Structure 1
Amino acid sequence: MFLAPLRLTLTLPCLIVAALFWLAIGSSVASAASQPVTEGWEYRWGDSPIGANGVPTWTETSALDQWSAINFPSNPPNRNGRNNVWYRVTLPAGHWHDPMLYIFSVDLIVQVWQGDRQIYQFGEFDAEGRGEFAGWPWHAIALPPDYHDKPLYFRIYSNYIDIGLWGKVAVMEQQALVPYILKNSVKSLIVAGMCALLALLAAVFAFVRKDDQGFSGIALFASSSSLLLLAGTDANQLLWHQPLVWEYLEAGSYYMVPVALGVMLTQWRGTRPARLLRRLWQLHLLYLVLALGASLLGLVTLASTYPVFDGLFLVSLIIMSAMALFDIRQMSGEQRLLLAVFGVYCLLLMADMAVAHGFLPWVRVPFSWGVLLFLLAVISISVAHYRHMQIQLQQMNAGLEQEVAERTAKAEALTLRERRRVKLLTFENEKNHLSDVVVAGLQRCVSLTQAMELLVLELPALTSPLRGVLYQPDALCTYLPEDCWRQVVSWGYNSNSSSTFTNPRPLPETFDGLISLPPPTRLFADIHDLPSDDTDLPAALHNLCLWINVQKAESGSHTIGLLQLEMPEYFSANTTEYGIARLYFSMDQIIQKIGLTLSGVLLQDDLQRFSYEDALTGLHNRRFFDRLIKHELAVCLRSQRPLTLLIADVDHFKRFNDDYGHEVGDLVLQRIASELAPAFRESDVVCRYGGEEFVIIMAGASSAQAKAKAKGLCERVQSLRLEHEGVALRPLTMSVGVANWPDSTLNPEKLMGLADKALYRAKRNGRNRVEVSSSG
């Protein structure tokens, strides 16, 4: 099954050649050797009982009163929701060597009987005379030599809107079938092949020229039309005899046509109309997915999805046509031509719908003509584009030599400029790499003092060939405007140096932060604001003053360093003004990056200090406890030392808060917290777990030792004299739950839960007491 698409691709050209061959040598045989069956048809509603011999009884009895005449065996009157019908006919006699009955299509499945013999079946009938949709192929029913002596009976089941035979019904020679099929299919096959080629070319152009979305719509329309023609032609059964698969391909390509039309019209329209068109083709795409998906899942039959789509498509065509006609003046000539072609295409589709739904008598609608017109329109537009392009190429070649000469002169001028820029960029990249190394080193520092010591060592290499001085306030990180700023390090001022500077005077040893602290140099906000090579820099920019700032969490920005830089004269003479400005801009960016890194070091130092401390009581917080208890559990398992966990809770503290207020409650919690640490050993860890609840980790302590310490804590809390603003407060008590490993449990992971249960047991037993978790 998975080789079918490949086989289809390889066989389609051969099938077209065969069709042309048969069209040339067998057209007279195909047209003359057939006898339409247009008379003598009768019908009977319902389904025949099956006799003991497995033969329907209606084929063995005449029962003339039960059969009614009909002009053509399709859609008899008074259906009234019935899905089974029988037709019969006595075929006309003829001089045939190898006779067969050709039927264009059947709605939906059929058995053919002659007397007590079943000579043909399409689809499967169950015991109740029903079956599933199996496609709409043509049917070739081999006839016995005496076919005209007995009537043929057609047993049909259909839950579709139509029931019965459809299209042409004729007796012909079996050898004339293939020429007849190919004669009726050759035009569609040729147009389908041309459409497939056009779809491939348009898809390639759509992929290459992503700025022009018109090709994607053409590719989608051409591929849908090609598959629709191929799946709808009679010759598809000669190519691959899978009627239901072909029906799914035909339905999918048919349902894709309005999507392709909508995509193309969307690309031609403005924003607001395009939104409506987009919603239309998205609706049709959704219907395609739902209809085919529901049919494949067996929720609906594929045949039942056609009427709904036809109604939806007709409404969409009216809307699309109205919008296209309203905007036709704004379209180009090519778009108008394609629009006219689409109009013919849609009219043929509507005619095919009318035939399918019985509004017009059966006839083969030349749908391929509409597709052929589309191909001719695209080819004519392509030829016109090609001619226009040739004219433009000639005009472009006429002025190409002059343009090349002008660009060559500009390129030579730019070459010298770019050489300078390459040198500058190389120098700048080296500095950026070195700054990344310095920043990485600063990030590894654990304190701001350590980071500044590293920066002092790295600044000379980082700022070379500039000379400079770094100043710092005497009290680092506590800068006040009146502080004295002193030189920490200087470089480039060696008297043996051969470099000369614009300002030969040495910089001062100190700055008074209140009087003479130099302001930072105002540089350009962005690198795109730098001056061009032809612009002179202000003289003040040949000396640079940069402030090293850090951000403190409590008080914002602070200046902790002052960097003064000067440029050597040789560097200034061999570098453009743009290069100097870019160098200074790069230095400023590097110092800002260093400032951000130092801010991170300072913030990390502060976070390390605050992350494990409870802000109210000063005890360790729950985060510290969660981290420590994991470590202690691992240690007790490894060393087999006992581990005791206590949970202490202030009794009736909510009521206390309600009576005295949360401000007084916070002060009392601070007072109680100050009594916790003295009540235990120095090796014990006391943490605030949350609210008025505290936890104590006692490594190496037994249950008895922990209970004694807990009782002492209860006594200390009970004896506290609490007062606020000279007013005595109600005394408080504390309940404690204790759990020990291995006394209380063999699984240390359960200590927290056992201690919590012991605490609540102490609460239930009267509070102001200690409860130890029993072994369990």
Structure 2
Amino acid sequence: MSRVTRWLGGALVLLLAGLGTLAAGPAQAEPRDLDQGWEYRWGDSPFLADGTPAWTMPDHDTAWRPIAFPSNPPNRNGRRHAWFRITLPDGEWRDPVLYVYSIDLIAETYLGGERIYRHGSFAPDGSGPFVGWPWHMIELPEDFAGRTLHFRVYSDYTDIGLWGEVKLMERAELFGFILRHSAADLVVSALCLLLALLAGAFSLFQANRRNFAAIALFALAAGVMILAETQASQLLINAPLLWDFLAAGGYFALPVAIGLLLEHWFADHRPRLIRGIWQGHLGYLVLALGAAAAGWVNLSITFPVFDGLLVVSLTILLAAIAPRLRRLDPVQRAILASYAIFGALLLVDMLVAHGLLPWGRVPVSIGALAFALAIVGISLHAYARTQRDLKRLNQHLEQEVAQRTRQLQTLVERLETYSYTDPLTGLHNRRYFDELLVHEATRAQREDAPLALLIFDIDHFKAINDRHGHEAGDRVLAGVAGTLASHFRDADVVCRLGGEEFVVLLPGADAANARSRGESLMNTLGGTVFWHHDRMLGPVTVSCGIAAYPEHVQEPLALVGLADQALYAAKQGGRNRAEVYA
């Protein structure tokens, strides 16, 4: 059975014992703080031949000095070994244990010269590597009352000795004590990790990715740090050094997240300075954790170095952004305020950790909770604002759609009036012809089919207008148009180009066929009489210009110009005739 399995089994036993205690009533003896009667002495004890530390013997009492709490005795002067002792009090105990909040850094516990507990491993010279900062449960025998308990401690850290609090209590009560003091931290940690997940998802899809990514990193770092530092984590996995690595990673990543966000917010004010700070912290995170994982340095020593770096960085950041704080919007101010609360609590915790303030449980999770609540509040506010904006947008869109519909209806009506039909003759107009020519030209080239084009112009039309008036001219135009429409086949298209000019497009016809049909039309017109108000308008003749693809040109769109040149030749040749482009 592995060590982890045994520990989880023990945790389950403690849980059942704790539940039983709650059901049965209070323990026979209340937990007792061991905050009086401590003594210390610097150095490391020699060991007797049987392995018993000499300083645990009664004849080695002269060098002990009283101390209020077994931590950081005076006049350390770089010394790394210290011993502490206390006489255990009387009491009615069923299953007594000694609870120690933490130890800097490794220790052995002796009762009556017999070792009953070890945290870490000691080399022959009394030194040893850092193995984490867990809480400690030291089992005591039933006859512990009145006996002297000794702690052998080694530390190359800034602190040495026991740290936090030392209590004598029942085993089952200890488990409940740990859970009670960890519950809030577990809830806040879970909330932060959930926020990290949501913000990380938003950073992948939302436009403001930089903000969401920085918030996700901060929430992740805070959540991991709080979870790793809570005492209940030791009940989940009994791997103190692993939890300390996670705590360090979260703690060291906090200024990186803050710097990323501030660099984005203050892009126009000292961005290089802010970027340099968060990149420096990122480098420290990688180097410190990498060196500790490789065994080059103890993880413990990376914390005080980072603490000093963090104080300097936050001071520089505050000085850099202070002149521009008023430019931040309310959302940015709320996030920055939550950072400030978290940072202030971290600073207090830092001062306590280094003995500059009396020991106490600093509620760092409150800072993380303030951050989480700020993000939740901002999100709810943003959601409500989004709903209002969507409602206004829907109303605006409905109005816009109605307006666009009216405009579209107007446009349709205008397009209907601006049709493809010439209103005088009933033929297709020039606009229709231009679009049709492009289509037929493309088809002729694609299918390698012939295409002919005829342009007709009424001879002496101006004289008709001048002699008989414009109404008579319109009658002639309409009459010629009707003759054209009835003369050509369905596949042929007759259009009025404008004035007295008409065009006929003959798909599949060559120049000779087009000329034959053009002359046939001219013969038909020669036998047609046009009347206006009982007046005969005289014989009406037309001139015709013809061009064909591919006989005359490789580009069908050029047929209009060629047929127009042929029409000019017909006019110059005496009118009332058809000419093919040559």
TM-score range (shorter-chain normalised) is 0.5 to 0.7
Return closer, same or farther for 1:341/1:495 CA change in 2, 3 Å cut-off. Answer: closer
Paired position in structure 1 for 2:288: 291
Indicate whether 1:388 and 2:385 are aligned: yes
Paired position in structure 2 for 1:172: 169
Paired position in structure 2 for 1:533: none
Return closer, same or farther for 1:410/1:288 CA change in 2, 3 Å cut-off. Answer: farther
Of residues 104, 113, 136 in structure 1, which corresponds to 2:110? 113
Shift of residue 50, structure 1, vs aligned partner: 2.2
Determine the C-alpha separation between the residues in 1 that align with 2:560 and 2:310. Answer: 76
Contact 2:57–2:113, Cα closer than 8 Å, also in 1: yes
Determine the C-alpha separation between the residues in 1 that align with 2:137 and 2:337. Answer: 40
Indicate whether 1:262 and 2:259 are aligned: yes
Return closer, same or farther for 1:287/1:567 CA change in 2, 3 Å cut-off. Answer: same
SS of the aligned residue for 2:102 comes to strand
Indicate whether 1:159 and 2:147 are aligned: no
Contact 1:228–1:254, Cα closer than 8 Å, also in 2: yes
Return closer, same or farther for 1:397/1:68 CA change in 2, 3 Å cut-off. Answer: same
Of residues 535, 545, 568 in structure 1, which corresponds to 2:556? 568
Shift of residue 334, structure 1, vs aligned partner: 1.4
Return closer, same or farther for 1:92/1:31 CA change in 2, 3 Å cut-off. Answer: closer
Paired position in structure 1 for 2:202: 205
Of residues 116, 131, 134 in structure 2, which corresponds to 1:137? 134
Contact 2:28–2:93, Cα closer than 8 Å, also in 1: no
Contact 1:109–1:122, Cα closer than 8 Å, also in 2: yes
Structure 2 stretches lacking a partner, 5+ long: 416-433, 452-507, 515-551, 562-582
Return closer, same or farther for 1:567/1:75 CA change in 2, 3 Å cut-off. Answer: same
SS of the aligned residue for 2:299 comes to coil
Determine the C-alpha separation between the residues in 1 that align with 2:76 and 2:23. Answer: 42
Q: How much is the aligned-residue C-alpha RMSD, in angstroms?
A: 3.9
Alignment of 1:32-181 (within 5 A): 33-181=30-178
Indicate whether 1:182 and 2:160 are aligned: no
Deviation track 1:166-196 (CA, whole Å, cap 9, x = no partner) reads 0010100001011100111111111111111
Alignment of 1:300-339 (within 5 A): 300-339=297-336
Paired position in structure 2 for 1:489: none
Contact 1:59–1:115, Cα closer than 8 Å, also in 2: yes
Q: Letter of the aligned partner of 2:69 in structure 1?
A: F
Shift of residue 461, structure 1, vs aligned partner: 9.1
Contact 2:106–2:154, Cα closer than 8 Å, also in 1: yes
Q: Letter of the aligned partner of 1:290 in structure 2?
A: L
Shift of residue 565, structure 1, vs aligned partner: 8.1
Determine the C-alpha separation between the residues in 1 that align with 2:389 and 2:307. Answer: 46
TM-score normalized with structure 2 length: 0.67
Of structures 1 and 2, the larger Rg is shown by 2
Paired position in structure 2 for 1:196: 193
Paired position in structure 1 for 2:431: none
Q: Letter of the aligned partner of 1:384 in structure 2?
A: H
Shift of residue 199, structure 1, vs aligned partner: 1.0
Paired position in structure 1 for 2:250: 253
Of residues 351, 364, 368 in structure 2, which corresponds to 1:371? 368
SS of the aligned residue for 1:110 comes to strand
Of residues 278, 282, 288 in structure 1, which corresponds to 2:279? 282
Return closer, same or farther for 1:29/1:354 CA change in 2, 3 Å cut-off. Answer: farther
Return closer, same or farther for 1:164/1:465 CA change in 2, 3 Å cut-off. Answer: farther
Return closer, same or farther for 1:237/1:497 CA change in 2, 3 Å cut-off. Answer: farther
Shift of residue 80, structure 1, vs aligned partner: 2.1
Return closer, same or farther for 1:168/1:273 CA change in 2, 3 Å cut-off. Answer: same
Shift of residue 31, structure 1, vs aligned partner: 13
Return closer, same or farther for 1:383/1:64 CA change in 2, 3 Å cut-off. Answer: same
Return closer, same or farther for 1:394/1:499 CA change in 2, 3 Å cut-off. Answer: farther
Determine the C-alpha separation between the residues in 1 that align with 2:560 and 2:209. Answer: 51
Q: Letter of the aligned partner of 1:156 in structure 2?
A: V
Alignment of 1:304-453 (within 5 A): 304-404=301-401
TM-score normalized with structure 1 length: 0.51
Task: Pick which of 262-271 and 405-414 moved more.
Answer: 405-414
SS of the aligned residue for 1:260 comes to helix
SS of the aligned residue for 1:144 comes to coil
Indicate whether 1:215 and 2:216 are aligned: no
Q: Letter of the aligned partner of 2:348 in structure 1?
A: A
Determine the C-alpha separation between the residues in 2 that align with 1:27 and 1:462. Answer: 101
Paired position in structure 2 for 1:731: none
Return closer, same or farther for 1:247/1:566 CA change in 2, 3 Å cut-off. Answer: same
Deviation track 1:707-746 (CA, whole Å, cap 9, x = no partner) reads xxxxxxxxxxxxxxxxxxxxxxxxxxxxxxxxxxxxxxxx
Shift of residue 316, structure 1, vs aligned partner: 0.9
Q: Letter of the aligned partner of 2:116 in structure 1?
A: I
Shift of residue 406, structure 1, vs aligned partner: 5.7
Shift of residue 359, structure 1, vs aligned partner: 0.5
Shift of residue 405, structure 1, vs aligned partner: 5.0
Shift of residue 76, structure 1, vs aligned partner: 1.2
Contact 1:258–1:281, Cα closer than 8 Å, also in 2: yes
Contact 1:465–1:568, Cα closer than 8 Å, also in 2: no
Q: Letter of the aligned partner of 2:230 in structure 1?
A: T
Shift of residue 29, structure 1, vs aligned partner: 5.1
Q: Letter of the aligned partner of 2:60 in structure 1?
A: A
Contact 1:27–1:179, Cα closer than 8 Å, also in 2: no
Return closer, same or farther for 1:498/1:169 CA change in 2, 3 Å cut-off. Answer: farther
SS of the aligned residue for 2:319 comes to helix
Aligned length: 432
Q: Letter of the aligned partner of 1:305 in structure 2?
A: T
SS of the aligned residue for 1:65 comes to coil
Determine the C-alpha separation between the residues in 2 that align with 1:56 and 1:74. Answer: 21
Determine the C-alpha separation between the residues in 1 that align with 2:447 and 2:130. Answer: 81
Return closer, same or farther for 1:464/1:384 CA change in 2, 3 Å cut-off. Answer: farther
Shift of residue 402, structure 1, vs aligned partner: 3.8
Q: Letter of the aligned partner of 1:178 in structure 2?
A: F
Return closer, same or farther for 1:320/1:495 CA change in 2, 3 Å cut-off. Answer: same
Return closer, same or farther for 1:213/1:156 CA change in 2, 3 Å cut-off. Answer: same
SS of the aligned residue for 2:300 comes to coil
SS of the aligned residue for 2:348 comes to helix
Shift of residue 463, structure 1, vs aligned partner: 12
Structure 1 stretches lacking a partner, 5+ long: 415-419, 431-459, 467-493, 501-563, 574-776
Determine the C-alpha separation between the residues in 2 that align with 1:498 and 1:394. Answer: 71
Return closer, same or farther for 1:280/1:463 CA change in 2, 3 Å cut-off. Answer: farther
Shift of residue 121, structure 1, vs aligned partner: 0.5
Contact 1:30–1:179, Cα closer than 8 Å, also in 2: no
SS of the aligned residue for 1:121 comes to strand
Contact 1:499–1:569, Cα closer than 8 Å, also in 2: no
Alignment of 1:744-759 (within 5 A): none
Return closer, same or farther for 1:200/1:496 CA change in 2, 3 Å cut-off. Answer: same
Shift of residue 393, structure 1, vs aligned partner: 1.2
